[in-house]
């Protein structure tokens, strides 16, 4: 019996060796997996941007008087923007934030608009209307404004790597104006606002390098790679793909 067990054990070892010697399916390296990023619905519909003009249509409150609103709630609408709306129309919800500082380099690009979700219009009667909340992004409260919802396509981006700063004028340079949640610093997967936009040749999907300067007499060093997820006329929202060091307001950005 002991001899039989020894023979079976040896046969198992040989089978394992020969099985391991055959062709194996290729396995993506860690660097390959890290180089591809999906720009998701959260990036596209729960981010922020600069608003050109403040809409007149606002959320008056929940029909039951609640002020903290959630998915599925019916809400009351008010404002001049009700004219022309139709039942079934989808609207994006925005919280109007502060006026963004141009840092003395450029005029302020405008007020911050934080995307808080979307609603579907139920009824419009004269100066009053109702809607149902379909999706929320964080806190949604009375006073938020509504604008027509625009469908955006998710996309995948392959990180193009860090680049050196150029001073020949071929690649426009800008500055970081605002960090997600008004934080002190930003890292990988967070979003920031910059003072470059469509007027500078920037569009959705364009990648940029972020640079910092340790001191006034020090050279600029690359700190992060980012991709544009929303492009306005003079500003853009970008997502940080990879950050070697934290990103701060005032850091320099340059198109690739």
pLDDT digits (tens, 9 = 90+) for 157-210: 999 888 888 876 666 789 999 999 999 999 999 999 999 999 999 999 999 999
pLDDT value of position 35: 67
The mean pLDDT of 211-225, rounded to a whole number, is 91
Tokens, residue 179: 């960090």
Average pLDDT, the chain: 86
pLDDT digits (tens, 9 = 90+) for 134-161: 999 988 999 999 999 999 999 999 998 8
Say how far apart CA 9 and CA 12 lie, in whole Å. Answer: 5
**In this model, does residue 49 exceed pLDDT 80?**
yes
CATH of domain 159-255: 2.40.10.410
Per the rule left: phi > 0, alpha: psi between -120 and 50, beta: everything else, 217 is: alpha
18 compared with 227, residue with greater pLDDT: 227
Contacts of 106 (CB under 8 A, 6+ apart): 195, 234
The mean pLDDT of 55-59, rounded to a whole number, is 93
**In this model, does residue 67 exceed pLDDT 90?**
no
Q: Are 218 and 155 in contact (CB under 8 A)?
A: no
51 compared with 33, residue with greater pLDDT: 51
Residues of the chain with CATH 2.40.10.410: 159-255
10 compared with 98, residue with greater pLDDT: 98
CATH class in words for 48-148:
mainly beta
**In this model, does residue 21 exceed pLDDT 60?**
no
pLDDT value of position 64: 81
Q: Are 130 and 78 in contact (CB under 8 A)?
A: no
Residue 65 CA: distances (Å) to CA of 22, 122, 126? 68, 18, 21
DSSP code, position 181: G
């Amino acid at each position: 019996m002991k001899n039989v067990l020894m023979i079976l054990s040896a046969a198992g070892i040989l089978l394992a060796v020969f099985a391991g010697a055959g062709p194996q399916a290729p396995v993506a390296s860690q660097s390959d997996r890290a180089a591809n990023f999906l720009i998701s619905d959260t990036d596209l519909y729960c981010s922020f941007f600069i608003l050109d003009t403040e809409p007149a249509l606002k959320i008056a409150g929940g029909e039951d008087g609640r002020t903290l609103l959630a998915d599925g709630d019916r809400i009351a609408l008010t404002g001049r923007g009700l004219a022309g709306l139709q039942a079934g129309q989808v609207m994006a919800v925005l919280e109007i934030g502060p006026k963004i500082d141009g840092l003395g380099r450029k005029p302020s690009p405008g007020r911050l608009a934080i995307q808080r979700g979307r609603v579907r219009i139920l009824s419009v009667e004269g100066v009053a209307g109702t809607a149902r909340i379909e999706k929320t992004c964080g806190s949604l409260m009375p006073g938020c404004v509504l604008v027509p919802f625009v469908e955006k396509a998710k996309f995948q981006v392959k990180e193009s790597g860090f680049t050196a700063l150029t001073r020949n004028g071929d690649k426009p340079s800008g500055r970081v104006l605002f960090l997600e949640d008004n934080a002190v610093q930003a890292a990988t997967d967070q979003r920031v606002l910059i003072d470059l936009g469509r007027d500078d040749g920037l569009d959705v999907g364009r990648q940029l390098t972020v640079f910092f300067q340790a001191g006034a007499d020090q050279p600029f060093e690359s700190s992060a790679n980012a991709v544009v997820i929303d492009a306005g006329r003079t500003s853009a929202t970008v997502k940080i793909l990879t950050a070697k060091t934290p990103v701060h307001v005032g850091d320099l950005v340059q198109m690739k």
